[in-house]
Amino acid sequence: MFRPQLLRQAARAVQAQAPRASFRVRQPIVAYTRPFSYTPARFEKEPEREDLDAFTTAGEPGESGDHEGQYARTQENIRVEYPEEDDLPSSQPVQGRGGFHFKRTLAAFSMEGKVAVVTGGARGLGLVMAQALVTSGADVAIVDMNRDEAQKSAQGLIDTFREENPGSENVPKVTAHFCDVSSPTSVNQSLADIIKEHGKVDNLVTSAGFTENYDAISYPHDRMQKLWGVNVDGTYLYAVAVAKHLMSRESPGSIVMIGSMSGAIVNVPQPQAPYNAAKAAVRHLASSLAVEWAHAGIRVNCISPGYMLTALTKKILDDNPELQKQWTSLIPVGKMGRPEDLMGAVTFLSSDASLYVTGADLRVDGAYTCT
Ligand SMILES: NC(=O)c1ccc[n+]([C@@H]2O[C@H](COP(=O)([O-])OP(=O)(O)OC[C@H]3O[C@@H](n4cnc5c(N)ncnc54)[C@H](O)[C@@H]3O)[C@@H](O)[C@H]2O)c1
C-alpha cells in the first residue's frame, strides 16, 4: 500500500536534484534564431497592411465599400407568403418520360407489384415523383389537402400512362385521398382508406410541405407553427403510420422524405429561418428513423432538392426577376432544376436498386451545396 507513495517521493527527489543543463544549452540558440528585435511591434501596421485591413475584421463595417456581404446575406425586405389554396397554380404530368422502351436497364429499378403513397402528390415535385413511380410499375395513392387537385392529378397520371402505352393491359391503379398531414387523425384515416383500396402499402414519399419568406423577427407565430406542422410533424406522422403498417405485415419497405438543400445551407437573399430549420429536421429524422427501423427492413432516406422550377416557383420568379438572377448565379451548373430531375432519384431510393442505402441524404441541387 505504501510502495507507490514511496516510489513517487523518490522520483520527486531525483527531479529536484537533476541539473537542467539541457535547457540552459538551448536557450542561446533560440535567442540567436529569433531575436526579440526582429518581431514587429504588435500594433504597428505596415503601410500596405493598412489598406488590406479594410477587408478584414480589423476594418470598420462598410470600410471596403457598400458591397460588403452582398452575396452572403439575407434581405429583410423580401417577403413571400405561401398562397391561399385557390391561388396555387396547377401542375400537369410531364410528357415523354414513360412508355415502352428497349434500352437495357437493371431490373432492380422496377417498382412492379409495389403500392406507393405520395403525400403532397397533387402538384409540383410530388406529382412528378408519383409519375416516376407509376412509370416504373407501381400503383400509387396521391395524398393531399386539395381533394379536387389530387383527383385531377390522379386521373392525369392514368391518362398520360394510357397515351404513352397504347394497348397496355396493365394500367396502374392511381387513387386520390384527402389528408392534412399535420393531423394524426387525418393521417390515420387516409392511410386506412388507402389500405382498403390498394390492400397494402410498400412505399412512402413525403412531399407535402411548403416554404415562406419572412424575416425571423416579423414571422407570425401561428404561420411558423403551421409551417413546422406540415413540414416536420406531417413527415413524421405519415412515416410512423406507414412503418406501423409495414411492421404489422412483417414486410420490408422504403420511405423517402423530401427535405431541401435548405436543411444544409442558408439560402440568400430571401430570409426563411424556420423553413431551413424544418428541412434540417427532416434530414435528420430520415437518418434517425433509418437506424430505428433497420431491424424491420424499413429503409428511410432523404432527397434534398435545390432550386426546382415548379409552377409555384415560376410564379414567384416571374414576379421577382432579380431573384432568379441571384439564385442562378449561385448554382455551379448555372441553372435551376426541373421537377423531372427528381424522377431517377426517387425511383432509385424507392426500389430494390438501393437495398443497402438507408439513412442517406441525396442532394439534387446542381452542386449548390458544394460551394
Ligand atoms: N420547389 C422547390 O424548389 C423545392 C426545393 C426544395 C425542396 N422542396 C420541397 O419539396 C416539397 C414539394 O414542394 P413543391 O415545390 O412541389 O410544392 P407545391 O406547393 O407545388 O406542392 C405541395 C403540395 O403539398 C400539398 N400540401 C400542403 N400542405 C399540406 C398538408 N397539410 N397536408 C397535405 N398536403 C399538403 C399542397 O396542396 C400541394 O399540392 C416540399 O416539401 C418542399 O419544401 C421544394
Domain with 298 in it: what CATH number?
3.40.50.720
Could you tell me which of 192, 233, 226 has the C-alpha nearest to residue 211?
Answer: 226
Residue 175 lies in a domain: yes
Place of cell 415562406: 212
pLDDT confidence of residue 126: 98
Average pLDDT rounded to a whole number, residues 155-164: 96
CA–CA gap between residue 247 and residue 298 (Å, rounded): 9
pLDDT per position as a tens digit, 292-323: 999 999 999 999 999 999 988 998 898 888 88
pLDDT confidence of residue 337: 97
pLDDT confidence of residue 37: 41
Could you tell me which of 105, 108, 112 has the C-alpha nearest to residue 136?
Answer: 112
pLDDT per position as a tens digit, 11-40: 444 344 443 333 333 333 333 344 444 444
pLDDT confidence of residue 315: 86
Q: Which residues touch 130 (CB under 8 Å, ≥6 apart)?
A: 116, 118, 121, 140, 142, 153, 157, 174, 205
- CB distance 53 to ligand 1 below 6 Å: no
- CB distance 145 to ligand 1 below 6 Å: yes
pLDDT per position as a tens digit, 48-100: 666 788 888 888 989 888 888 888 999 988 899 998 888 888 999 998 788 88
Please provide the DSSP assignment of 131-196 as one string. Answer: HHHHHTT-EEEEEES-HHHHHHHHHHHHHHHHHHSTT-S-PPPEEEEE--TT-HHHHHHHHHHHHH
Residue 166 lies in a domain: yes
State the cell numbers at 51: 489598406
pLDDT confidence of residue 43: 52
Could you tell me which of 150, 159, 160, 151 has the C-alpha nearest to residue 124?
Answer: 150
Q: Which domain holds residue 319?
A: 85-92+108-370
- CB distance 211 to ligand 1 below 6 Å: yes
CA–CA gap between residue 52 and residue 42 (Å, rounded): 16
Distance 153 CA to ligand 1 centre (A): 15
User: What mean pLDDT value characterizes the chain?
Assistant: 88
E strands within the chain?
A: 115-119, 139-144, 174-178, 203-206, 253-258, 298-305, 361-364
Average pLDDT rounded to a whole number, residues 264-278: 97
Residue 17 lies in a domain: no
pLDDT > 50? residue 181: yes
State the cell numbers at 61: 463595417
By annotation, the residues acting in catalysis are 260, 275, 279
Residue 342 lies in a domain: yes
Q: To test ligand 1's pocket by mutation, which of 118, 144, 363 has the most ligand atoms within 8 angstroms of CB?
A: 144
Distance 246 CA to ligand 1 centre (A): 25
Residue 360 lies in a domain: yes
Distance 89 CA to ligand 1 centre (A): 12
- CB distance 125 to ligand 1 below 6 Å: yes
Average pLDDT rounded to a whole number, residues 169-180: 96
Confidence of residue 47 (pLDDT cuts 50, 70, 90): low
Residue 7 lies in a domain: no
Residue 18 lies in a domain: no
78, with CB counted inside 10 A (0-12, 13-18, 19+), is middle
Q: Which residues touch 67 (CB under 8 Å, ≥6 apart)?
A: none
pLDDT confidence of residue 14: 39
Total structural domains in the chain? 1
Is the pTM higher than 0.85? The answer reads yes
- CB distance 204 to ligand 1 below 6 Å: no
Contact 145, 208 (CB under 8 A): yes
pLDDT per position as a tens digit, 206-222: 999 999 999 999 999 99
Distance 56 CA to ligand 1 centre (A): 41
Residue 31 lies in a domain: no
- CB distance 181 to ligand 1 below 6 Å: yes
pLDDT confidence of residue 216: 97
